[in-house]
Chain A
Amino acid sequence: MLEAKNIHFKYSEEPVLTDISLKAEPGKILAIIGPNGSGKTTLIKILGRILKAHSGTVLLNNKNIWSVHDAARKIAWVAQNNKLAWPFSVKQITLMGRFPHRGWLSSYTKDDYKAVEQALNKTGLKELKDRLINTLSGGEVQRAIIARALAQEPDILLLDEPVAHLDLKYKVAVINLIKSLADHGIAVVISLHDLNLAAQYADRVILLKGGKLFAAGVPSSILNQKNLEEVYETKVNIVYYNNLPFIIPVLDKNP
């Protein structure tokens, strides 16, 4: 599937990622968490063939991802901020997800339209398919972008902070969607800053601090007080509910 081995990356002389390795498995959600600036977005971009690591490799089905020219047929990357320059409709946006399969010139076929329909169904956007994207709510936009990613028919879905700016209702809807996609066999890698979401939904978690891999494993063992207080440099309390950890930051009421 998708594997990263010893990834190093820097912007000019600043090291951003140091010796990161991970593996994404089909049907599982891998959450990348850590404070702002810990390198989450950069890591997802490297996995998604948007940025190239300075050393280390990313392997897609055991091949170096940069030698796979139609990688977009297998991996779909969803950015943190999605603002389209022009008011396309949901359907048009989703159809663009077929680009990796058709290229610059080939006409779209029945298969392409079928994939679009499926993507729209999975994201619950069938009713909204002719709506223009600038008339949609934040959650609907996010789902539309995910629909586009799904139309690529990827085996691997990479999402950078997909629910960061969404209302509770849409947060839940999108995360549930992502979960169902994983349940259908897609390997999902998702960066989150909401620790509790990570705790609830991720099968595995990677905790970054300063670009280094601080800890990796299942949420219930990684998300403990010691790790979190060290990485986030603040006091937390952990409460357990249904065996899942819930992180509550401690607010210092007495100065």
Chain B
Amino acid sequence: MTGMLKKRKSTFIIVFIILLILLFFLILISMCIGSVPLSFSDVVDVIIYKLPFLNNFLDNDNSVQIDEGIVSIVWDYRLGRSLVAVMVGISLAASGAVFQGLFRNPLADPFIIGASSGAALGSTLAIVFGFSVSFLGFTPIPFAAFLGALISVALIYAFTRTGSSSPPAVTLLLAGTALSSLFFACVSIIMSVSENDLHKIFFWLLGSLNGRTWPHLLAILPYFIISLGIIFILARPLDIMAFGEETASGMGLNVKRARILIVVSASLATASAVSISGIIGFVGLIAPHIARLLFGPAHKRLIPASAVIGALLLVVSDDLARTLLESRELPIGVLTALLGAPFFLYLLKSKQNTLGGE
């Protein structure tokens, strides 16, 4: 009846570490699989080549000539890509958890106040108008998506402010829904008159990590660190907000400050994820619920657990996306749903009392 492992701190830490180890091994496995058939020793050779200090631990003949192409495949397009998947998974899951906490709504996800529609519109406009400004390590389209996401959230926030107080959660939610519809309608209009660019626009809307590697990871790293940093200190305020904003303020929480930090950090995390991967649905909704069912609702555990689960889900989904069909790539959003939904339904069935929500 109680959240499976919520009681004992040591149990939580153990399980959490197990999940981290699992993630680590999944990443190693990702380096070994792909549309190109490489042998395990190829992969090991690349790892040693890139991390020469490992030679001290391994009995390896490091006079082997290594093919630069193979190095790039393993290091850039498998490891690099998997790490991008990890970052995107963490960002979406953490911001999903945070938005669920702010809105006290189990259906909230990272896109609830319009970040995805802003990113979609930004990237669509950039594609169609051939926007070519690169900025701060972002290539043009990701940059436009990033800006679009931030601008749409800022618009919602500014629009719903009443006087000097920050807007209540429900208002944000409704305004976000309305703006999302508007922006997505604009995207549809643009798509119907820009047949040439339909493919590219679809790619953004379906989400993909095709070609994503170190440069993309580095471009969003600062925003990733900042947003995750803020999110981690929001653990207690988010717990308190479960009582509702009035009680929370009665308990001494500066609700306005908490709200602003929540919106800013979660939107920044979402914007940076969407800017490199397009819109990947489901992860931000499901990972926090899986975490809550396994570890309970206290945000100090929920947020890291969601993050790890999000990372796991995305790495596995991406691995499948690029290996299920010979040489072809599937859209990753399809796989996150195919993997996440059944698992979640199973958990739900076994723990019907503990979903939560208003």
Chain A contact residues, CB within 8 Å of chain B: 45, 48-50, 70-73, 75-79, 82-89, 92, 96-97, 99-100, 102-105, 130-132, 134-135, 152
Which residues of chain A come closer than 8 Å to B249, judged between CB atoms? 49-50
Minimum distance in angstroms from B145 CB to a CB of chain A: 31
Contact assessment for A87 and B251 in the assembled complex, using a CB-CB cutoff below 8 Å? no
Pull 24 A–B residue pairs with CB atoms less than 8 Å apart, ordered by A: A48-B250, A50-B249, A50-B250, A73-B252, A82-B247, A83-B358, A84-B242, A84-B243, A85-B105, A85-B357, A85-B358, A87-B353, A88-B239, A89-B296, A96-B239, A96-B243, A99-B252, A99-B253, A102-B236, A104-B233, A104-B234, A130-B2, A132-B1, A135-B353
Per the bound structure, the CA–CA distance linking A146 and B292 in Å amounts to 25
Which residues of chain B come closer than 8 Å to A78, judged between CB atoms? 247
Contact assessment for B1 and A104 in the assembled complex, using a CB-CB cutoff below 8 Å? no
Which residues of chain B come closer than 8 Å to A89, judged between CB atoms? 2, 6, 296
Minimum distance in angstroms from A74 CB to a CB of chain B: 10
Tell yes or no: B240 within 8 A of A by CB: yes
Q: A104-B233, A130-B2 are in contact. Are A99 and B251 (CB under 8 A)?
A: yes
Minimum distance in angstroms from A144 CB to a CB of chain B: 11
Q: A87-B353, A132-B353 are in contact. Are A96 and B1 (CB under 8 A)?
A: no
Number of A-B contacts (CB under 8 A): 99
Minimum distance in angstroms from A157 CB to a CB of chain B: 12
Per the bound structure, the CA–CA distance linking A179 and B245 in Å amounts to 28
Which residues of chain A come closer than 8 Å to B298, judged between CB atoms? 88, 92
Which residues of chain B come closer than 8 Å to A135, judged between CB atoms? 1, 353
Contact assessment for B353 and A72 in the assembled complex, using a CB-CB cutoff below 8 Å? no
Contact assessment for B2 and A85 in the assembled complex, using a CB-CB cutoff below 8 Å? no
Minimum distance in angstroms from B289 CB to a CB of chain A: 11
Tell yes or no: B297 within 8 A of A by CB: yes
Contact assessment for A88 and B242 in the assembled complex, using a CB-CB cutoff below 8 Å? yes
Q: A70-B252, A134-B353 are in contact. Are A99 and B236 (CB under 8 A)?
A: yes
Per the bound structure, the CA–CA distance linking A91 and B174 in Å amounts to 34
Tell yes or no: B237 within 8 A of A by CB: yes
Contact assessment for B251 and A100 in the assembled complex, using a CB-CB cutoff below 8 Å? yes
Minimum distance in angstroms from B270 CB to a CB of chain A: 21
Minimum distance in angstroms from B13 CB to a CB of chain A: 15
Which residues of chain B come closer than 8 Å to A79, judged between CB atoms? 243-244, 246-247, 250
Interface string of B112-144 (1 = CB under 8 A from A): 000000000000000000000000000000000
Minimum distance in angstroms from B250 CB to a CB of chain A: 4
Chain B contact residues, CB within 8 Å of chain A: 1-3, 6-7, 101, 104-105, 233-234, 236-237, 239-244, 246-247, 249-253, 292, 296-298, 353-358
Which residues of chain B come closer than 8 Å to A48, judged between CB atoms? 250
- A49's nearest neighbour on chain B, judged by CB, is B250
Contact assessment for B356 and A72 in the assembled complex, using a CB-CB cutoff below 8 Å? no
Q: A82-B247, A88-B298, A152-B251 are in contact. Are A96 and B354 (CB under 8 A)?
A: no
Contact assessment for B2 and A72 in the assembled complex, using a CB-CB cutoff below 8 Å? no
Minimum distance in angstroms from B154 CB to a CB of chain A: 24
Contact assessment for A71 and B252 in the assembled complex, using a CB-CB cutoff below 8 Å? yes
Minimum distance in angstroms from B287 CB to a CB of chain A: 15
Per the bound structure, the CA–CA distance linking A198 and B250 in Å amounts to 25
Taking A77-B251, A78-B247, A83-B358 as given, write out 4 further A-B residue pairs in contact, using a Cβ cutoff of 8 Å, ordered by the A residue number: A79-B246, A85-B357, A87-B296, A132-B353
Which one, A82, A100, A152, contacts B243 given CB within 8 A? A82
- A72's nearest neighbour on chain B, judged by CB, is B252
Which one, B7, B242, B354, contacts A85 given CB within 8 A? B242
Minimum distance in angstroms from B118 CB to a CB of chain A: 27
Among A48, A76, A89, which residue has the most Cβ atoms of chain B within 10 A?
A: A89
Per the bound structure, the CA–CA distance linking A130 and B357 in Å amounts to 19
Which residues of chain A come closer than 8 Å to B234, judged between CB atoms? 104
Q: Which 6 A-B pairs have the closest CB atoms?
A: A72-B252, A86-B297, A85-B104, A77-B250, A86-B356, A100-B252
- B105's nearest neighbour on chain A, judged by CB, is A85
Which residues of chain B come closer than 8 Å to A99, judged between CB atoms? 236, 240, 251-253
Per the bound structure, the CA–CA distance linking A99 and B298 in Å amounts to 14
Per the bound structure, the CA–CA distance linking A126 and B98 in Å amounts to 31
- A73's nearest neighbour on chain B, judged by CB, is B252
Among A87, A92, A131, which residue has the most Cβ atoms of chain B within 10 A?
A: A87
Minimum distance in angstroms from A130 CB to a CB of chain B: 6
Contact assessment for A50 and B356 in the assembled complex, using a CB-CB cutoff below 8 Å? no
Which residues of chain A come closer than 8 Å to B357, judged between CB atoms? 85-86
Contact assessment for B252 and A86 in the assembled complex, using a CB-CB cutoff below 8 Å? no
Minimum distance in angstroms from B210 CB to a CB of chain A: 37
Contact assessment for A85 and B356 in the assembled complex, using a CB-CB cutoff below 8 Å? yes
Per the bound structure, the CA–CA distance linking A102 and B236 in Å amounts to 10
Contact assessment for A132 and B246 in the assembled complex, using a CB-CB cutoff below 8 Å? no
Per the bound structure, the CA–CA distance linking A3 and B242 in Å amounts to 30
Which residues of chain A come closer than 8 Å to B3, judged between CB atoms? 87, 132
- A71's nearest neighbour on chain B, judged by CB, is B252
